[in-house]
Structure 1
């Protein structure tokens, strides 16, 4: 059986990984001062978008996910022929309409695919499952990467679903902003009080960064640290501790950066993370941060995710 994965462009994974595993991207469009940007997870285009965000300061950005009709059209024109079973894994449903739109589209896809496959002389049935990753950025990417790993290992769909259910409950994605302006502006527009004006003013003056966590369908601050690099090192050290203690539920640590990933490769904490991970066969993926995450926490932010039953905080 040919098993495929579809996910939206909020998913943080390297382009090389997406291509290797034939992962199909549902683009997200972002409207800002410079016009509309369609995020297809292409590194060069993402880097150009970062520049636009940086040039426009704390300008307002609005995202638009694929509609149910667009998702239906993509599946019927391509995926129902390329695969026999598709896992569609979305960004957390509390932050976007993508899960809802994909769920609505799936009902029409499953009722409309038969004539298309019959015309192509494909007689086997087609199946589709939509899953809420319950996470964002690197957290969503970690869930997707684990499904891709299991597909490559020829694991059954039932076992993949069991692991998916576990990962959506235990994956933790942490985000540290480089600057607070964009984070504060976007939070204010959404009515999110997690980064209030006083926190913003004091944080900017004292270089105090919040550590935000995506976990079980919500995003909240779980600590604060003085200095961006110190915050990044906290995340790297948390992942290293779990690796050394055997506390990971999936053999992966996922990292993304709102800029050139080469910057992260030079960070001592990241180098130490690789040194702990490689001898233990733990995959470490590093990619550009998705444009949707970037407009929410600002250019230059860093995200790191792992799956563990140990709930990590930085209070």
Structure 2
């Protein structure tokens, strides 16, 4: 059976991994003033757009996910021919309409695919499963990497579905941003009051950086640490301890809102890479999606891995 894997462009995975494993993207379009870019996870295009537009006006950006009709057209124009079963894994539905759009599109796709497949010479049925990853950015990548691994191992559709649904419930995402004022401006632009003026002002005045935790569709602060570099090092140290304790999949995904050389120079990063290598855990590092950067600001770090329930200690 030909199994397809679809993610949206907020899913932070390396560009070469996406291309090598034929992962299909649902692009999210970003508009900042007159500048418009459809995010196809081209790292150089993302960095160019970042330097030209995001730093000054990113908080006012508009992000436009693939519509129900665009998703339907992508499937009926290509995917129902190229594959027999597709897993479509989206950013958490609590933060984006992409999951709901994909669910609505799935009904039309399953109603309309037969003549398209028959015209291409396929008389067998087509099926798809829309999965809410219940997380954001780098943490989305953990489920997609596991889908690739399972597909390449010859796992059945049922085995893949059950495993991915289990993982979605157990992926932890952590994020540290550089600029709480940017986060507040972005939240206010979107009508999200989760980052208050007082906390943003206090955090910047004292250089306090919150560690945000994404888990099962909810995102919130789990620690406040003085200094960005210090906060990042504590986060990397904590993830290293979780790696030593044994993860549910041999995968850690990391993304950065800027050049990867800057990520690699952060304190604690080299040690985390060494810990992962020593414990047979693959590290996937990627430039953060343009969608992610306009929402959380440039220079942010996100990291995701599958693990039992735990409490952050840093």
TM-score range, shorter chain: over 0.9
C-alpha distance 54-110 of structure 1, shift in aligned 2 (>3 A): closer
Cα separation, 1, equivalents of 2:99 and 2:78: 20
Q: Secondary structure at the match of 1:130?
A: strand
Cα separation, 1, equivalents of 2:128 and 2:199: 44
Cα separation, 2, equivalents of 1:181 and 1:88: 34
Task: Report if the CA contact (8 A) 1:255-1:284 is conserved.
Answer: yes
Alpha-carbon offset, residue 260 of structure 1: 0.6
Alignment of 1:132-281 (within 5 A): 132-246=132-246, 248-281=247-280
Aligned structure 1 segments of 4 or more residues deviating by more than 4 angstroms = none
Alpha-carbon offset, residue 268 of structure 1: 4.0
- Could you say which residue in structure 1 is the equivalent of 2:2? 2
Task: Report if the CA contact (8 A) 1:58-1:185 is conserved.
Answer: no
Cα separation, 1, equivalents of 2:89 and 2:58: 30
Cα separation, 2, equivalents of 1:271 and 1:107: 46
Alignment of 1:37-56 (within 5 A): 37-56=37-56
Show CA shifts across 1:28-70 (max 9, x none): 0112124222111111111012113444156411211111110
| TM-score of the superposed pair, with normalisation by structure 1 | 0.95
More displaced 10-residue stretch of structure 1: 94-103 or 156-165: 156-165
Cα separation, 2, equivalents of 1:58 and 1:36: 12
* Pair 1:284 & 2:283 matched: yes
Segments of structure 1 that go 5 or more residues without pairing to the other structure are none
C-alpha distance 13-58 of structure 1, shift in aligned 2 (>3 A): closer
CA RMSD for the aligned pairs? 1.5
Cα separation, 2, equivalents of 1:30 and 1:205: 31
Alpha-carbon offset, residue 95 of structure 1: 0.8
Q: Secondary structure at the match of 2:311?
A: coil
| TM-score of the superposed pair, with normalisation by structure 2 | 0.96
Cα separation, 2, equivalents of 1:54 and 1:126: 41
Task: Report if the CA contact (8 A) 2:232-2:267 is conserved.
Answer: no
Cα separation, 2, equivalents of 1:158 and 1:70: 27
C-alpha distance 55-304 of structure 1, shift in aligned 2 (>3 A): closer
Cα separation, 2, equivalents of 1:38 and 1:230: 35
In the comparison of the two structures, how many residue pairs are matched?
314
C-alpha distance 54-73 of structure 1, shift in aligned 2 (>3 A): closer
Show CA shifts across 1:119-171 (max 9, x none): 11122211111011111101111111111111111111212112112111111
Cα separation, 2, equivalents of 1:184 and 1:74: 35
